Amino acid sequence: MNFENILVNQEGGLATITINRPKKLNALNIATINELQNVFKGLDSDNYVKVIIITGSGEKAFVAGADISEFAHFSVEEGGRLAADGQQKLFNFIEDLSTPVIAAVNGFALGGGLELAMASHFRIASDNAKMGLPEVSLGVIPGYGGTQRLPQLVGKGKAMELIMTAGMISAEEAKEVGLVNYVTSQEELLPLAEKLAGKIMRNSSVAIAGAIKAVNDNFRDGVNGFETEIREIGNCFGTEDFKEGTNAFLEKRKADFPGR
């Protein structure tokens, strides 16, 4: 796969996507959003891929936001369409992927960058990372799901403060409020993401896909996540992974999941 704005590395069951516009602090232009959607779609449909890590190139930024130069002259209709397309193509798309996505936040994660990290299934950060939703300082509001996912992760009051002040928080503060799970040095960031990915890969990918659906349905209006959980656990009982997992336990050996 060859892309202009992203790099993709696949090793074993682990795929790492690096957003690669370091001169623009990896700002998300529409071309990058389209490339990301294509690569996520391809990796999710590849049964061999068990975990995806997303990060930014360079030492300064994960993603410094949506590309401001692209939308500075947009009309009301174009602005609405930008958000709708982006949410559907990338942000909601990532959240609903059946393959786990870890965001390795290696620097600025602002606006669309933080929204991208929040759409991922969980986040870890390097100690130089800075996070925020500065959109109101530009006269807009977060449009790629930020007003919804930030309160889900950090609570309504902290989300209101971060959005209204347009301020940035450090990696340590982000950990304190539950926005990221771990903070480490920049050198250790990808090794930590890979270590977590390794732990995930030892488990049943089919069961993990069911768990992602059930957890996500907790946050979906008009959907009862408990019912999703019942349906998804029911489905697990019909999988080869379930037979392997339970047999391995009873036979006191490590499970070797076929992923079916």
Name the site residues for ligand COA (rule: CB under 6 A).
24-25, 27, 64-69, 108, 110-112, 134-135, 138
Give the shortest CB-87-to-ligand COA separation in angstroms. Answer: 14
* Phi, psi angle pair for 50, to nearest 5°: -105, -30
C-alpha 20/C-alpha 7 separation (Å) is: 7
Q: Which is nearer to ligand COA, 135 or 232 (CB)?
A: 135
Active-site residue 135, yes or no?
yes
The least CB distance from residue 133 to ligand COA, in Å, is: 8
95 catalytically annotated: no
Decide whether 22 or 259 has the Cβ nearer to ligand COA.
22
Q: Which residue lies nearer to ligand COA by CB, 100 or 112?
A: 112
- Selecting among 135, 172, 194, 232, the annotated active-site residue is 135
- What would the two tokens of residue 6 be? 């992203």
Retrieve residue 119's tokens.
Answer: 């759409």
Residue 156 beta carbon to ligand COA: minimum distance, rounded to whole angstroms: 22
Q: Please enumerate in sequence order all residues whose Cβ is within 8 A of that of 12, keeping only pairs 6 or more positions apart, or say none.
A: 201
Minimum CB–partner distance for residue 129 and ligand COA (Å): 12
Out of 115, 194, 227, 232, which one is annotated catalytic?
115
Which is nearer to ligand COA, 69 or 185 (by Cβ)?
69
Describe the crossing of helices 240-250 and 205-217 by its angle, rounded to 10 degrees.
110
Extended beta strands in the chain, E state: 6-11, 14-19, 51-56, 61-63, 101-105, 108-110, 122-126, 130-132, 168-170, 182-184
Q: Could you list the active site residues?
A: 115, 135
